[in-house]
Amino acid sequence: MATASAPVTIDTVSMAQMPSTETKATPLVMTPAAIAKVREIMATQDPIPAGLRVGVVGGGCSGFQYSMAFENQSGMMDKVFTYDGLKVFIDATSLMYLNSCVVDYVETFEAAGFKFENPNVKSTCGCGSSFSV
């Protein structure tokens, strides 16, 4: 499945330097549908968050789970990616597991939600909520 992605800028944040912005390929792809849905949900929050944190956390039957949460600022060790104006914060550890991952928003008759297509995943659990690499 070929997916289009919005132009992306990367803000590198470290203690030793001020944030710098450069345009290049990103390890995580957010589809236009995913970006639109995140913006829609963000608009209902009070106060409106600064961005979305996407990560990988330990848990589930297979060892890892994806996480998404709104944040008011980036962490000290985060990479900040901007997808068509939407800031996405990813910590350095999660970045390793999210390399080449595509995040999409899918609506069907049965369900709607964010879908992660990650080529690094070796196996998933039966319910599909966790994975191993």
User: Which tens digit of pLDDT belongs to each residue from 9-67?
Assistant: 444 443 344 444 444 567 899 999 999 999 999 999 999 999 999 998 887 776 788 89
Class of the domain covering 8-132:
mainly beta
Round the CA-based radius of gyration of the chain to a whole number and report it.
15
Query: Which tokens is 48 given?
Result: 């409106």
pLDDT in tens, 92-106: 999 988 999 999 999
Run of H or E residues at 72: none
Q: What is the pLDDT of residue 119?
A: 86
Identify the pLDDT of residue 47. Answer: 93
Structure tokens at 29: 């792809």
- d(Cα 55, Cα 93) in Å, to the nearest integer? 8
- The full set of domain ranges for the chain reads 8-132
